[in-house]
Structure 1
């Protein structure tokens, strides 16, 4: 029985990940599991990158990403369902942060999209592939 489902969303994909989110919600609902939704921002604070951004840029980017994530979840799942979703914005390398979020939440299942929308074949994207390879829990890939 699944107790916690983590859904990884890439906000830069626009609405492409809505079916991933909806599938994750269906899977969580089957077992009455907690649904957590995570998106990952690049680390703007890295030494070689941080000099290009104004002070406070990272905090502003995290807040905007959180607001967009909540908005996307509400639009895709409805206001009532979204009220029980935990929205997580992480910073760093996508696959590593997804795995960290899954471990922190005690997730039994990770739901992730297969690839970027511009890839027209059946290959997994690099982040989905790495999550699958390094995860200690089951990973469900939505194509």
Structure 2
């Protein structure tokens, strides 16, 4: 009997979202087909490079809401989450905490062509307790 997929996690790197968001598009389609809920998350750095960002949760939460308004997911229930820390660790931790069935994420930073899989995707694939669907550009 095939596994039920009821909760999908799609981490988004908002610094590269103008270039690449294929994983988000794929996650939305999967959620529609499987009648699953979707968590769209972003991970902010612990220390912001931009000193004008005083509250990462508010700033990146706003950026995430703006992205979702520009890329609606009609018919899909979406929850947004902002985390702080090392991206690869936070994705695995969030997936475990929320007991997600599937993580859908980009293969690598779109500017890095030298690696088979990006270090973040590689870590998540290796350490996540659930299935991971890696989307190539």
Matched with 1:112 is 105
TM-score, normalised to structure 1's length?
A: 0.82
Q: Does 1:27 align with 2:22?
A: no
Contact 2:10 2:38 in 1 (8 A): yes
1:18 alignment counterpart? 21
Q: Does residue 76 of the first structure (1) align with residue 71 of the second (2)?
A: yes
Q: Which runs of 4+ in 1 moved over 3 A?
A: none
Query: Matches of 1:81 and 1:43 in 2, distance apart?
Result: 34
CA separation in 1, counterparts of 2:20 and 2:81?
Answer: 16
Shift of 1:69: 0.7
- CA-CA distance at 1:18 after TM superposition: 2.1
In structure 2, C-alpha distance between the alignment counterparts of 1:81 and 1:27, rounded to whole Å: 12
In the alignment, the residues of structure 1 paired with residue 72 and residue 122 of structure 2 have an alpha-carbon distance, to the nearest angstrom, of: 26
In 2, Cα distance between the equivalents of 1:28 and 1:105?
Answer: 16
Contact 2:96–2:128 (CA<8 Å) still a contact in 1?
no
Superposed CA offset, 1:37-65 (max 9, x none): 111011139xxx9xxx69x92xx222110
Name which of structure 1's ranges 130-139 and 10-19 shifts more when overlaid on structure 2.
Answer: 10-19
In the comparison of the two structures, how many residue pairs are matched?
133
| Among 112, 131, 134, the residue aligned to 1:138 | 131
- What is the CA RMSD across the aligned residues, in angstroms? 2.3
Classify the secondary structure of the residue corresponding to 1:112: strand
Give the alignment partner of residue 125 of structure 1, picking from 110, 118, 123: 118
Inter-partner Cα distance in structure 2 for 1:81 and 1:74: 14
Unaligned runs of 5+ in 2: none
State the match for 2:78 in structure 1: 85
User: Is structure 2 residue 2 aligned with structure 1 residue 9?
Assistant: no
Residue aligning to 1:97: 90
- Name whichever structure is richer in helix by fraction: 1
